[in-house]
Structures are given as structure tokens and as C-alpha cells.
Amino acid sequence: MVFVQHQFNLRFQLDFTVFSHYTTKTDCSMRTLPLCPYTYQYFQNLRQQQFYYQELCGNNYEWRFTDFVCVDKTGCLIQPDYITHKFPQILKKYDLRPIRFHDLRHSCATIMLYLGYTLKDIQTWLGHSNYNFTADTYIHSASGVHEQMAESFSAKLGNILPTELPFNIDENC
């Protein structure tokens, strides 16, 4: 399980780092999410890597942040803007179109909707206070979806509607 309970900010003043700790924006943002096996294993491997670097660096390791996931090889917190700068490089490396890292939340919400999850389920997964915000801001219509809707609607209606017109068309009209 992942417990989303806090947000952290770092800023620099002269020669030292100011570490700020905040609770989430809203009570709804504070939530517990299950981890899929792949993600759980990733975090297990990451933790083992951190233990390796702790032993390797010894007293030079930054021990204040041992409970944190996002630390570098020396135990220092990874700067929040690291992802902002690194993500476009990853997209380019794999020939993907440029998007913001935050846009992955929008993609997640849209995919969850197409997988059949309710707006209420998606709202609580994302930590929003109401599903109208989730629907209006995060859910996007995919290209070709209207054609699929028309075909599906037509197929369902085709089974119940008569195939012949209920009246004769007068050619003199």
C-alpha cells in the first residue's frame, strides 16, 4: 500500500536547503492506494539499492532522509523539479510526443474510465473532492470514440427497431 499523506517542498537559501513539510491540499487527497506487484517489486529493488549505497557511503550518506523513496545515491532528496527536467528527455529517447509529467494523471483517469471504472472510483483514486472536477478536468475523449459509440448504439438499436418504415413514402411528396 502507498499512503498519500504529505507533500514536500525544497528550496535553497544560500548554502543550505530548507525542507518544508505540508499536509495534502485537501482531506480527500490523503488516501491509501494499493500497489500492483510490478510497482511493489520496483520499490523493493529501490530499497535494496538504497541499503547498498548507505553501506558504500557510510558516514557520508545523508541519513536524515532514510524513510524517503526519492533520494539520490548519497541519500539527498531528489529535487522536485528533477522529474520536470528529466521527463522530456525520456519521452524524446523513446520517440514519444512531448507532454507534461502531470498529464500522466489525465491519461490514468481516461484509461481507468475506458477500463470501466466509475467516475467515483477514479475521483477517489486521484484524491479529488468531487467527481465533477475529475470528469471536467481529467477525463478526455479519445479520438474515434464517437464512431465506436455510434456503431455500438446502432448495433443495440438494430436489434429492437423495425427494419421497415412504419409508413409508406408517397413519391408525390
Banded model confidence at residue 69, pLDDT cuts 50, 70, 90: confident
Residue 82, pLDDT > 80, answer: yes
Cβ(20)–Cβ(43) below 8 Å = no
Instruction: Compute the residue count for the chain.
Output: 173
The mean per-residue pLDDT over the stretch 87-112 comes to: 92
In this prediction, residue 61 carries a pLDDT of 96
The whole-number pLDDT of residue 13 equals 47
pLDDT computed for residue 91 by the predictor: 95
Q: What's the pLDDT at 72?
A: 93
Determine the Cα–Cα distance for residues 173 and 171; give it in Å rounded to an integer.
6
Residue 173 pLDDT: 55
pLDDT at residue 27 tops 80: no
Distances from the Cα of 17 to the Cα of 8, 63, 119, angstroms: 13, 15, 40
Confidence of residue 98 (pLDDT cuts 50, 70, 90): very high
Q: Which three cell numbers stand for residue 22?
A: 505540508
The helix/strand count (H/E) of the chain reads as: 6, 4
Query: Looking at residue 3, what is its pLDDT?
Result: 56
Measured between alpha carbons, how far is 97 from 105 in angstroms, rounded to an integer?
16
Q: Which of the pair, 36 or 55, is modelled with greater confidence?
A: 55
Give pLDDT tens digits for 110-160: 898 889 999 998 988 888 888 888 888 878 777 787 888 788 878 877 777
pLDDT given for residue 165 in this prediction:
62
> Which pLDDT does position 33 carry in this prediction?
77
Output 51 or 15, whichever has higher pLDDT. 51
Neighbours of 173 (CB within 10 A): 4
- Residue spans of the domains in the chain: they are 102-160
- pTM exceeds 0.85 for this model: no
Whether the predicted pLDDT of 79 surpasses 70 = yes
Distance CA 38, CA 122 (A): 21
